[in-house]
């Protein structure tokens, strides 16, 4: 793969998206005769081998949360054992019902259910987005049952884009409240936005952009006092904050121990260290979960019932998820959390010590920084980090960059290398503010174009290119 930037934003995307053109066969048509399995696997290996170093070495924000070769092999074996399983057919694979019920129960217990009287129930989904869409569906349908025809969700501006997807899919109006000067949800403004059409209030623990935990205690109480449901989105935090709390870090309560929290999302495929493709959505009480289900009893295809969005689902992924949770156990998650938070502390200190940038708020492990120096472009800093092998996330409103610290960064030397590279990257961005190529022009343009449809059209072109062989 070449790392040379081109200058033209779409050509730049093309270069990043299609590095194998010319080095591997392009298979735009079915081969007339099947290719030998060895050869097929060799093609797959060539790509994986080219891509492994970058994420395995600990240079990527988020993305791979565990990634040790032994763990990866263990997940693959668990998947392989159950690769033919489909939870749509529980009569054939009752193992899927056992594994998924246990995933849900273990997750609920971790998130406060063991310490309260109420029942906490849930389902396994394909990821954070589906967990959120499903929870919003439950509130949407409960609202309809209560006579709310034009539903509204109240959420901070930093809530994940999955809530926008849910709103768009189901015609839910959004009241997006700007975060306060402290970068977290503004409780008074959120409370004031709740009315008789509100079906749910949302808070994040933590929010994706700046890794900061919204004031869940006050937000959930404001919702409860008004008789409205409250969703804690802990997709990013559900499998790390409970252990951080036990380790003595300052984690405010964010889970079902709060009586106002009526649903939560927690991603097993992030800090649960499962393979990609699973998450858990939880509810206080079976009644709310019922509203998530889909049943259709008049279909010529038979009696149809699915708890989540897909029909057929990969039982192998649930097996791998269950295997990860059981193999880690409480002590495994606690050790992993301690290692991540130690690496994050070193990286946080590095950001704070670097002149020209500042850390946003006081996050635990998703660290966002922005430029404070006149003329310093934070996206140039990101590009200079890219040139040093890093893959950080560019954010906007306001312009900033973050790194989500995972176990990959807890490897020896990674946090120290981040500190060194960040210092050099800021200096480079300061000295060469007009450097060619990279993502800086794309982010700069996206921030400055008043016509958001133009930006959307650019993103659509990106997806168009994705599916060109
Ligand atoms: C806070 C939060 N919510 C939801 C999601 C969506 O998760 P997924 O990408 O698994 O759909 C993410 C992903 O990073 C997240 O950080």
- The pLDDT tens digits of the residues spanning 363-392 come to 999 999 999 999 999 999 999 999 999 999
Helix (H) or strand (E) holding 321: helix 315-353
CB atoms within 10 A of CB 228: 23
Q: Whose CA is nearest to atom 8 of ligand 1?
A: 128
Q: Name the region of 339 (left: φ>0; alpha: ψ -120 to 50; beta: rest).
A: alpha
67-81, 175-189, 404-418, 422-436, range with the lowest pLDDT: 422-436
With respect to residue 350, please indicate whether it lies within any of the assigned structural domains: no
Ligand 1 centroid to Cα of residue 162, in Å, is 7
> pLDDT tens digits, residue range 150-191?
999 999 999 999 999 999 999 999 999 999 999 999 999 999
With respect to residue 271, please indicate whether it lies within any of the assigned structural domains: yes
With respect to residue 383, please indicate whether it lies within any of the assigned structural domains: no
Per-residue model confidence (pLDDT) at position 1? 40
315 lines ligand 1 (CB under 6 A): no
With respect to residue 4, please indicate whether it lies within any of the assigned structural domains: no
CA distance 353 to 396: 23
User: Distances from the Cα of 253 to the Cαs of 169, 226, 257, 282, 332, in angstroms?
Assistant: 31, 20, 7, 16, 22
DSSP 231-255: EEE-TTTTTTHHHHHHTT------S
Instruction: Say whether 12 sits in a helix, a strand or coil.
Output: helix
With respect to residue 450, please indicate whether it lies within any of the assigned structural domains: no
Angle of the 378-387 helix axis to the 440-448 helix axis, nearest 10: 160
- Banded pLDDT at 4 (limits 50, 70, 90): low
Instruction: Say whether 409 sits in a helix, a strand or coil.
Output: helix
Residues 458-467: contacts with CB within 8 Å, 24+ apart?
458/9, 458/10, 461/10, 461/13, 462/13, 462/17, 465/10, 465/13, 465/14, 465/17, 465/18, 466/17
- Banded pLDDT at 15 (limits 50, 70, 90): confident
Domain that includes residue 159, residue range: 94-325
Residue pointed to by tokens 């395995």? 56
Distance of CA 111 to the CA centre of its chain: 18
Q: Which two tokens stand for residue 20?
A: 């194998």
Does residue 457 surpass a pLDDT of 70? yes
CA distance 201 to 233: 11
6-10, 60-64, 71-75, 148-152, range with the lowest pLDDT: 6-10
208 lines ligand 1 (CB under 6 A): yes
With respect to residue 116, please indicate whether it lies within any of the assigned structural domains: yes
CATH of the domain at 259: 3.40.640.10
> pLDDT tens digits, residue range 222-263?
999 999 999 999 999 999 999 999 999 999 999 999 999 999
Ligand 1 centroid to Cα of residue 433, in Å, is 32
Does residue 86 surpass a pLDDT of 50? yes
128 lines ligand 1 (CB under 6 A): yes
With respect to residue 267, please indicate whether it lies within any of the assigned structural domains: yes
Which residues, 6+ apart, have CB-to-CB distance to 241 below 8 Å? 205, 206, 213, 234, 251, 254, 364
With respect to residue 303, please indicate whether it lies within any of the assigned structural domains: yes
- Banded pLDDT at 5 (limits 50, 70, 90): low
Per-residue model confidence (pLDDT) at position 7? 60
CA distance 305 to 175: 32
Q: Whose CA is nearest to atom 5 of ligand 1?
A: 128
Distance of CA 355 to the CA centre of its chain: 30
Per-residue model confidence (pLDDT) at position 442? 81
User: Domain count of the chain?
Assistant: 1
Q: What is the mean pLDDT of the chain?
A: 96
């Amino acid at each position: 793969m070449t790392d040379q930037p081109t200058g033209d934003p779409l050509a730049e995307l093309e270069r990043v998206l299609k590095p194998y053109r010319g080095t591997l066969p392009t298979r735009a048509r079915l081969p007339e005769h099947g290719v030998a399995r060895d050869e097929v696997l060799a093609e797959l290996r060539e790509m994986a081998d080219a891509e492994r170093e970058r994420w395995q070495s600990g240079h990527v924000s988020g993305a791979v949360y565990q990634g040790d070769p032994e763990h990866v092999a263990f997940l693959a074996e668990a998947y392989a054992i159950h690769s033919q399983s489909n939870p749509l057919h529980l009569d054939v694979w009752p193992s899927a019902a056992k594994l998924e019920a246990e995933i849900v129960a273990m997750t609920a217990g971790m998130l406060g259910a063991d310490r309260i009287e109420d029942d906490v129930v849930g389902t396994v989904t394909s990821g954070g987005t589906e967990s959120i869409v499903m929870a919003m569906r439950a509130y949407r349908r409960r609202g309809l049952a209560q006579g709310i025809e034009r539903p509204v969700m109240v959420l901070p501006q930093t809530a994940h884009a999955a809530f926008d997807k849910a709103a768009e899919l189901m015609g839910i109006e959004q009241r997006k409240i700007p975060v306060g000067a402290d970068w977290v949800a503004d409780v008074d403004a959120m409370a004031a936005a709740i009315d008789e059409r509100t079906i749910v209030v949302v808070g994040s623990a933590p929010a994706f952009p700046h890794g900061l935990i919204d004031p869940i205690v006050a937000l959930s109480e404001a919702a409860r006092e008004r008789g409205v449901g409250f969703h804690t989105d802990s997709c990013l935090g559900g499998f790390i904050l409970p252990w951080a709390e036990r380790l003595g870090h300052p984690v405010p309560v964010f889970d079902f121990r709060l009586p106002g929290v009526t649903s939560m999302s927690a991603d097993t495929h992030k800090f649960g260290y499962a393979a990609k493709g699973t998450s858990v959505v939880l509810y206080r009480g079976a009644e709310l979960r019922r509203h998530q289900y889909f049943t259709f009893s008049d279909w010529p295809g038979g009696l149809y019932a699915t708890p989540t969005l897909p029909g057929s689902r990969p039982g192998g992924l649930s097996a791998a998820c269950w295997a990860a949770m059981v193999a880690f156990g409480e002590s495994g998650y606690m050790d992993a959390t301690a290692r991540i938070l130690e690496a994050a502390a070193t990286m946080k200190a590095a950001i704070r010590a670097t002149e020209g940038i500042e850390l946003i708020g006081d996050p635990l492990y998703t660290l966002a920084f922005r430029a404070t120096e006149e003329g310093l472009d934070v996206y140039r800093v990101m590009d200079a980090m890219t040139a040093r092998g890093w893959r950080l996330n560019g954010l906007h409103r306001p312009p900033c960059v973050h790194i989500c610290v995972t176990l990959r960064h807890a490897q020896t030397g990674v946090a120290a290398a981040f500190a060194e590279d960040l210092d050099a990257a800021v200096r480079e961005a300061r000295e060469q503010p007009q450097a060619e190529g990279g993502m800086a022009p794309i982010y700069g343009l996206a921030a400055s174009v008043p016509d958001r449809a133009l930006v959307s059209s650019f993103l659509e072109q990106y997806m168009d290119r994705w599916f060109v062989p």
